[in-house]
Amino acid sequence: MAITMANPLTNPDRFFAELSERDSNLWIPAAIVLLAAIATGIDIAAVNGVTTPSPSGAVLPFTTISVATSVIRGIVVLSISWILYAGVFYALSTLLRGVGSFRRVFEFTGYGFIPAIIAPVIGLAAVWLAYPGIDFSAIDPQLLKQTLMQNPLMKASDIAGILFLLWSAVIWIFGVKHACDISRRAATVTVVLPVAVNLLYSMVILI
């Protein structure tokens, strides 16, 4: 009879408690990060596709090459983010007397990227909804992307992205708690510091 695991999105505390009883497995979190990278790449390619004019002035549709390039870039960026987050979480938890292994922290951190799969989908929907309402022919080609990003739908999408980052932070708190065998308060401190830095950077970009 199969054992049903708790959902990391709705009950991360129980999920990581149960996962801690199992052997470390990096395949699932790696797949999560890969899916997040693909979703992010498609979202970026869509934005670039509708805001990059051709020499004739027409807007270029996003092509297979542009999508592939964006996905590869997304894989690199999110892989680095995964390593950096896990590294910082592990270092800070060690200072707070955590006793977990880096491999386990790395594994559990990967699950926190699940919201990063959903956020680009919302961003992609915002692009398709905002695009028909913008008269790109009346806009300087150099300002196409800036004009699109100023659309209320795109602004809402950016805010949603921040909320999804906070959702990831909640998952990471419980992941670090169980991976490093520390209290929830210590895990919160461990996660909040690097996430706050990233959040401040994201807010600066939006301003």
Q: What is the pLDDT of residue 172?
A: 97
Q: What is the pLDDT of residue 206?
A: 58
Among 1-15, 50-64, 77-91, the range with the most confident prediction by mean pLDDT is: 77-91
Q: 163 or 50: which carries more pLDDT confidence? A: 163
Q: What is the pLDDT of residue 162?
A: 87
Q: What is the pLDDT of residue 121?
A: 87
Q: What is the pLDDT of residue 161?
A: 86
CA proximity to 73, closest of 39, 107, 37 = 37
Q: What is the pLDDT of residue 128?
A: 77
CA proximity to 111, closest of 195, 24, 30, 14 = 30
Q: 69 pLDDT exceeds 80?
A: yes
Per-residue pLDDT, averaged over 60-64, amounts to 55
Q: 3 pLDDT exceeds 60?
A: no
pLDDT in tens, 78-135: 999 999 999 999 999 999 999 989 999 999 999 999 999 998 888 888 877 776 666 6
Q: What is the pLDDT of residue 134?
A: 64
Give the whole-number percent of the chain exceeding pLDDT 70: 79
Say what the pTM is. 0.84
Q: What is the pLDDT of residue 139?
A: 60
Q: 189 pLDDT exceeds 90?
A: yes
CA proximity to 71, closest of 87, 48, 52 = 48
Average pLDDT over all residues of the chain: 83
pLDDT in tens, 36-51: 999 988 888 877 766 6
Residue type at 98 in one-letter notation: G
> What's CA 42's distance to the chain center, in Å?
13
- Phi, then psi, of 8 in degrees rounded to 5: -65, -20
Give the whole-number percent of the chain exceeding pLDDT 90: 51
Find the angle CA(32)-CA(38)-CA(42) to the nearest 5 degrees: 150
